[in-house]
Amino acid sequence: MAVLLVPAVLLLVGLAAATAAGENNFTFNGFNPVAPQLVLTDLAAVTPGGLLQLTNYTKQTKGHAFFPTPFRFKKPSNGRNRSLSFSTSFVFEITPEYPHSFGHGIAFVLSPDPYLAGSVASQHLGLFSPANDGNSSNHIVAVEFDIVKNEEFDDISDNHVGIDVNSLKSVNATNVYYVENGERKALNLTSEKLRAWVDYEGQTGRMEITVAPAGVPRPETPLLEYVRDLSSVVADEVYVGFSASTGAATAMQYVLGWSFRLDGKADELDLSRLPSLPDPEGSGGPKKFSAIVLAAALTLAAVTILLLGIAVGIFMVRRRKKYAEVLEDWEEEYGPHRFSYKDLFRATRGFGDGQLLGTGGFGRVYRGLLRSSKMDIAVKRISHDSQQGMREFVSEIVSMGRLRHRNLVQLLGNCRRQGELLLVYDFMPNGSLDKFLFDPAKIKLTWEQRLHIVKGVASGLLYLHGGWEQVVVHRDIKASNVLLDDDLNGKLSDFGLARLHDHDNHPQTTRVVGTLGYMAPELTKTGKATTATDVYAFGAFLLEVACGRRPMEVHPSSGEPFLVDWVLECWKRGSILEAADPKLWTGGGKDPAEEIELLLKLGLLCSHPEAAARPTMRQVVQYLDGEALLPVLSPGVLEASSLAMRKSEGFDDFVVSLTYSSSSSYTTFGHDLSPSESFFSGNH
Ligand SMILES: *[C@@H]1O[C@H](CO)[C@@H](O)[C@H](O)[C@H]1NC(C)=O
Ligand SMILES: *[C@@H]1O[C@H](CO)[C@@H](O)[C@H](O)[C@H]1NC(C)=O
Ligand SMILES: *[C@@H]1O[C@H](CO)[C@@H](O)[C@H](O)[C@H]1NC(C)=O
Ligand SMILES: *[C@@H]1O[C@H](CO)[C@@H](O)[C@H](O)[C@H]1NC(C)=O
Ligand SMILES: *[C@@H]1O[C@H](CO)[C@@H](O)[C@H](O)[C@H]1NC(C)=O
Ligand SMILES: *[C@@H]1O[C@H](CO)[C@@H](O)[C@H](O)[C@H]1NC(C)=O
């Protein structure tokens, strides 16, 4: 390609206004816009005024201009090749688009390729690319006039001159200045017309760069020096020229005149003959143009900022709404237990369906991962309709965060929003116990595992009833409220939550909260939960675990809807173990019969219809641990009082009809009842 260009250029030489003849020297006092004297690529062009314009205000561009004929830089001498001396001088001017934002600079280049193939713009100045920067097979030597400080290349400033050998990491560099009358004067590459001289002495390998404002005579002292035998760097045939680039910031980069000589001193340029830059005030000039562009850009920027501001505002308002919380003065004291809604929202991936663990009587439960602590959590979202009583309820719930027992699911904290309370608990990987008892897909628990769980739940409940400064009634003991951790330890969850419905009272209706089959007769009658009603529910739970049946579920053979009655019936027949889960006998190992019998009887005792006859949780734990013996019971007495109690309450009929009308009798019972349903009269 270069070879093809040579004849064309030789043909043009005669037409050129400037001198461009001979093998070893040329001088351009301005350039010929009609008959190009240079190989111009990318953005480079010669303006009608005779300026060599390497770039304009187009971003991320480069421009190259090379003398079309290569020079032979090396000569054999005494059996080794030595590089010849050369000298060049040029006048250039860089006019930034904006006073404080400009890029990227001009370089004088010696290169084997006048197109600098593969080079990129921006900080690479159109010389190199990230792929080849620093590679010695580039064979490129350049003098850069760099107006951007790039840390990447250890640039010293945004106003420096550097000598580059195959890399943009300069081998020597300096800020720009000149010495006049012994006085060092700073120069600014972007604010004036400058003249530069580059001289290389082949014998010594010394390269000298000198810079001065155009019009000032050449200073004695060079600005920059570097000594190296370039014969080992440059190729045999060397093209000389210029490269410049723009990045995100731009500048007009011009060369006004250029002279070069191989093996001798380049001609001094005739400054009077050099073209001048377009008049900044003249119509259509680049500076005028830039002013218009600037005004337009500023207007556009202002509008954009305004629109952006509005958008950000809307976004913030929405975000605020999205993450809005309610925090009242009285809640401040619970500060440490407070979670931000945003954290919970993120932890649960926006309460996505994929994170849903289940839907209980109080709301949905989501699995989450706290970003800060990488902790697995379960978040219960409880919606409530009234503000009334919220304070009492929240303080109660939050104070339960202080309850700590290995058989209680730890409450970590809460977050309150309008009409919604979020409770954050430890995540229990194995889910709830009822799944293990009734879901055919789950593994069957052995007797040892069941007993371990039951004992754990009993000790957790004992702690609630008496191990703490105040008595806490759970109110909703059942298998689905017993969660299992990794080691299948039973942990009570949802303690205290039933209180929420007390606070949600409507004057016209009364709510009784609990789960059918677990509710003690006196609870359904008075609506008042006590430790004894918890014990009743615990009894139902014991039977549930031992029998593998729900407390209220029509028995397939007997048609008996109450598990209690079925166990009693078996006991009366002298075979109480018949009521136990048949799967318990398939495990092998120690014969569990004795323990199962104890559990069944304890379950019946706890389920005694008369509250006073039930044991306390402390006693229950002692019975389970074998520290005390069960009192002697007879099935007949239990049955008689059970039936009497239920008949007198009219409870039987209600329950039976409910049981038959619904396939699942195992529902949390929290709907409104009218006061006319006398057996569910509340205490409010
Ligand atoms: C420089 O080039 C001109 C034009 O071809 C030629 O006449 C002159 O002799 C050259 N000067 C030197 C010192 O080689
Ligand atoms: C820059 O120069 C190119 C090529 O001459 C031209 O297409 C473009 O419009 C110019 N851009 C500006 C901003 O002057
Ligand atoms: C000198 O350069 C020429 C041309 O590239 C080459 O053929 C020759 O081997 C070189 N000689 C030495 C001693 O490097
Ligand atoms: C050079 O001048 C420009 C304005 O064109 C200014 O922004 C910059 O800070 C100056 N640089 C130095 C090193 O004085
Ligand atoms: C240098 O460039 C040559 C030619 O492009 C290539 O073959 C070589 O792998 C490069 N070396 C490095 C270190 O990148
Ligand atoms: C870099 O240039 C300065 C100024 O001319 C000179 O004093 C110094 O020796 C040079 N350093 C190298 C490594 O060439």
177/252 same-domain check: yes
pLDDT of residue 682: 31
Mean pLDDT of the chain: 81
Ligand 5 neighbours, Cβ below 6 Å, are 132, 135, 137
Which of 607, 653, 624, 621 minimizes the C-alpha distance to 477?
Answer: 607
Ligand 6 site, residue 161, Cβ cutoff 6 A: no
Ligand 3 neighbours, Cβ below 6 Å, are 74, 76, 80-81, 236
Whole-number Cα distances in Å, 548 to 181, 485, 581: 106, 20, 5
364/312 same-domain check: no
- Atom 1, ligand 4: residue with shortest CA distance: 188
30: CA distance to ligand 2 center in Å? 21
Q: Cα(331)–Cα(417) distance, rounded to whole angstroms? A: 12
Asked if 262 contacts 25 with a C-beta cutoff of 8 angstroms, the reply is yes
Looking at the 3D structure of the chain, how many domains does it have? 4
- For 489-498, what is each residue's pLDDT tens digit? 999 988 766 5
Structural domain that includes position 152: 23-269
507/598 same-domain check: yes
Ligand 2 neighbours, Cβ below 6 Å, are 43, 45, 56-58
For residue 87, being part of any structural domain is answered with yes
For residue 6, being part of any structural domain is answered with no
pLDDT of residue 416: 81
State the amino acid at position 74 in one-letter form.
K
For residue 568, being part of any structural domain is answered with yes
112: CA distance to ligand 3 center in Å? 16
Query: Ligand 1: which of 23, 24, 25 to mutate, most ligand atoms within 8 Å of CB?
Result: 25
Residue 333 reports pLDDT greater than 70:
no
176: CA distance to ligand 6 center in Å? 14
For residue 250, being part of any structural domain is answered with yes
241/172 same-domain check: yes
Asked if 455 contacts 625 with a C-beta cutoff of 8 angstroms, the reply is yes
232/355 same-domain check: no
333/410 same-domain check: yes
Query: Ligand 5: which of 116, 119, 129, 132 to mutate, most ligand atoms within 8 Å of CB?
Result: 132
126: CA distance to ligand 5 center in Å? 18
Asked if 490 contacts 454 with a C-beta cutoff of 8 angstroms, the reply is yes
Q: C-alpha angle 41/46/50, rounded to 5°? A: 160
pLDDT of residue 360: 67
317/235 same-domain check: no
The overall longest dimension of the chain from CA atoms, in Å, is 131
pLDDT of residue 289: 61
409/491 same-domain check: no
Share of the chain above pLDDT 70, in %: 80
Residue 309 reports pLDDT greater than 60:
yes
pTM of the model: 0.48
CATH of residue 542's domain is 1.10.510.10
- For 597-620, what is each residue's pLDDT tens digit? 999 999 999 998 888 989 999 999
Residue 568 CB-density burial (10 A; 0-12 exposed, 13-18 middle, 19+ buried):
buried
Catalytic residues: 476
Mean pLDDT over 452-457 rounds to 95
* Whether residue 104 has a cis bond before it, omega within 30° of 0: yes
- Atom 10, ligand 6: residue with shortest CA distance: 225
Residue 392 reports pLDDT greater than 90:
no
189/256 same-domain check: yes
Share of the chain above pLDDT 90, in %: 43
Residue 512 reports pLDDT greater than 80:
no
| The length of the chain, given as a count of residues | 684
528/635 same-domain check: yes
Ligand 6 site, residue 224, Cβ cutoff 6 A: yes
Query: Ligand 2: which of 42, 52, 58 to mutate, most ligand atoms within 8 Å of CB?
Result: 58
Ligand 6 site, residue 221, Cβ cutoff 6 A: no
Residue 336 reports pLDDT greater than 80:
no
For residue 675, being part of any structural domain is answered with no
Residue 426 reports pLDDT greater than 60:
yes
CATH of residue 102's domain is 2.60.120.200
pLDDT of residue 593: 86
- Atom 13, ligand 5: residue with shortest CA distance: 135
Q: C-alpha angle 84/87/90, rounded to 5°? A: 150
Ligand 6 site, residue 410, Cβ cutoff 6 A: no
pLDDT of residue 388: 58
Rg of the chain taking only CA atoms, in angstroms:
46
Which ligand minimizes its atom distance to the CA of 236? 3
- Atom 9, ligand 5: residue with shortest CA distance: 135
pLDDT of residue 272: 93
pLDDT of residue 60: 93
Greater model confidence, 220 or 393? 220
For residue 67, being part of any structural domain is answered with yes
Give residue 467's pLDDT band: very low, low, confident or very high (50, 70, 90).
Answer: confident
114: CA distance to ligand 1 center in Å? 23
| For the ranges 140-154, 563-577, 642-656, the one whose mean pLDDT is highest | 140-154
- Atom 9, ligand 4: residue with shortest CA distance: 100
Q: Cα(284)–Cα(291) distance, rounded to whole angstroms? A: 10
564/438 same-domain check: yes
| Residue 528 labeled ligand binder | no
Greater model confidence, 364 or 11? 364
- For 58-77, what is each residue's pLDDT tens digit? 999 999 999 999 998 888 87
| For the ranges 451-465, 467-481, 514-528, the one whose mean pLDDT is highest | 451-465
Give residue 9's pLDDT band: very low, low, confident or very high (50, 70, 90).
Answer: very low
Mean pLDDT over 208-228 rounds to 95
103/59 same-domain check: yes
- Atom 13, ligand 3: residue with shortest CA distance: 80
Distance of CA 245 to the CA centre of its chain: 36
Ligand 4 site, residue 188, Cβ cutoff 6 A: yes
Mean pLDDT over 341-369 rounds to 86
434: CA distance to ligand 2 center in Å? 76
Relative to the CA of 57, which ligand 2 atom is closest? 13
137: CA distance to ligand 5 center in Å? 7
Residue 418 reports pLDDT greater than 60:
yes
Give residue 655's pLDDT band: very low, low, confident or very high (50, 70, 90).
Answer: very low
Residue 265 reports pLDDT greater than 60:
yes
For residue 466, being part of any structural domain is answered with yes
Residue 656 reports pLDDT greater than 50:
no
State the amino acid at position 576 in one-letter form.
I
Ligand 6 site, residue 163, Cβ cutoff 6 A: no
